A and B are shown apart, each in its own frame.
Chain A
Amino acid sequence: MSRLLLMLLWVTAFTLATCLAPSFIKLHSESSTSILVLLMGDSRQMFAGQFFAKADAYFHNGNYPSIFDHQGPKESHMTEQAEVGREHKDDDNDEHAKTFTGDAPKDWIERFGRNFIYKQHSHLENEDVREILPWLKLATEMDPHQVTVYVTAAYWLRVRLHKPDEAEKFLREGLRDNRDSPEILFELGTIYYQDRHDDLVSRNLWLEARKKWLAQKDTVKKTNELVFMRILGSLAKLAEKQGHTDEEIQYLEELKQISPNSDAIEILIQSARKSASQKK
């Protein structure tokens, strides 16, 4: 009788364990996330911004305007290069560079103090750009909805560090938290196009990015028109490569409507039409 009772208890315990274990695991993972939210609340976004600024400071070899400087950098070269897709050429006379070299010292204390700080405008060279990555990673840990951070990190991982696998992994992490982001989808498509040479997947990703961009509110669209132009430009280029001239013209027509350089797009459209008529 006692053996039966023990068996019954053991079976009950085993059944309970199998029922409750998944709930406990879920509860544990939820609580670990919520602890960060609970402890830091909305300040996480502020910290994410700070970490992103830190990455930009690293990109400029430690030289970065402080909060006391009247004009902080209006745009970041680190982000700009990732968004535009080509590298910025340093010019010490441009406005951006001037925010880093600073104004003339106001007094002898400031003048002497300049001996101990780096005040040149320079960027990290070659593979040294890897040094910005920990701060970008931390920024996304703090605020996983900062799409720019994912795109920026992926760009540098792919272009300078030649790590498309790591870039894709990071972008997919970002996509989990930002399912409707055309920027992340576009960057993923670019990895498949430029690094994996998989035109089919890249086309699908860019088409999805275009769909997501069109589904956005008009106010949001105006803030990220650049990514839409890049999506359409890439789709047109791919269509040209695959010989789908009608498709190419369609994307170029769309691009012409928002591009600030519509004349140049018109020339491309005419050229595409001409080659289409020659084929016929």
Chain B
Amino acid sequence: MNILLALAGVVIKELYRRKDFYVLFVLTALITLLLGSVSFFDDKRIIRYLKEICLLLIWISSLVIAILTAGRQIPSEKESRTIFPLLAKPVSRAQMILGKFLGCWFACGFALLVFYLFFIVLSGTHDHEFSMLTCLKALWLHWMCLAIIIAMALLGSILFASVSANATIIFITAIGILLVGGHLNTAAVDLTEPTQSIVTALYYAIPHLEWFDVRDLVVHDRNIVQFLPILGATAYAGVYTTLLLGLTVRLFKRKNLV
């Protein structure tokens, strides 16, 4: 466990040393505050559009941070050749992957906390009916979603040759699942065979990231998500993350690092 935490600590340090997080946070805050200064029909109490845009920017920023941080872990260790002394110490390849995953996940969790803190301050000052509980549930689900995405990016970093290719593919996959993942079963109905079977199989195989995106509920103050479904979604994220990490470890063990 100490090895995992030590490896995770290095990744967390890397996040606050790099400028990605700061740039994205400043951009999110700047765009949101700029849009907040716009007055529509001389009504200062209009807030939902601002909450929606702020949450959209938070999601985009978190995806960028998660994918880029996770995607460059193994390639950068290989490129700087620090992977060899690291593995020469009593650190197994599985521990290395798990440590990197935990580091990325905790770092993203920290970044999310800062982003959501800004969102809470923004909403709290403008919206008197703002529900903190809904926001905290959204934050938790968002973090669980990032666990799957980070695991996907780590797997991608073993499979794909370059960091940019991996980041692009994972980004498109994640956005694709978030946008259409939940509708594949509906879309499959109108298709002909064998496309119908392929799309249906895809529907059951992909991790349903759209469950974790409850932005609409936060924007429209609908505190409808109960704790049991949140628990279910957390377990679902746990299963997918374990599967993806297991596959990553398996592939990484077989990979020739020289």
Contacts and interface: CB of A to CB of B under 8 A. Distances in A.
Interface in B172-210: 180, 182-183, 185-187, 203-204, 208, 210
Interface stretch (B61-69, B151-159, B222-230, B240-248): B222-230
A110 B41 contact: no
A117 B216 CA distance: 8
Interface in B31-50: 40-43, 45-49
Contacts of A63: 216
Nearest to A109: B208
B169 interface: no
Interface in B204-239: 204, 208, 210-214, 216-217, 219-220, 222, 224-226, 229, 232-233
Contact of A118 (B46, B210, B211, B216): B216
Contacts of A58: 48, 220
B183 A66 contact: yes
A109 B204 contact: yes
Interface on chain A toward B: helix, strand, loop, or mixed SS?
Answer: helix
Interface size grouping (class) on chain B: 35 or more
Main secondary structure of the interface of B (DSSP, over half): helix
Contacts of A62: 216-217, 219-220, 222
A112 B235 CA distance: 13
Interface residues of A, number: 31
Contact of B41 (A66, A117, A137): A137
Contact of A161 (B43, B187, B210, B232): B43
A115, A133, A137, A153: most-surrounded residue (chain B CB, <10 A): A115
Contacts of B219: 62
Contact of A112 (B46, B216, B229): B229
Contacts of B180: 68
A112 B211 contact: yes
B34 to A, nearest CB: 14
Given A115-B232, A116-B213, A133-B43, 16 more contacts: A61-B222, A62-B219, A62-B222, A107-B185, A109-B182, A109-B203, A110-B185, A112-B229, A115-B226, A116-B214, A116-B225, A117-B216, A130-B46, A131-B46, A134-B49, A137-B41
7 contacts: A62-B220, A115-B226, A116-B229, A133-B40, A133-B41, A134-B46, A163-B42
Interface of A: 58, 61-63, 66, 68-70, 106-107, 109-110, 112-113, 115-118, 127, 130-131, 133-135, 137, 153, 157, 161, 163, 166, 170
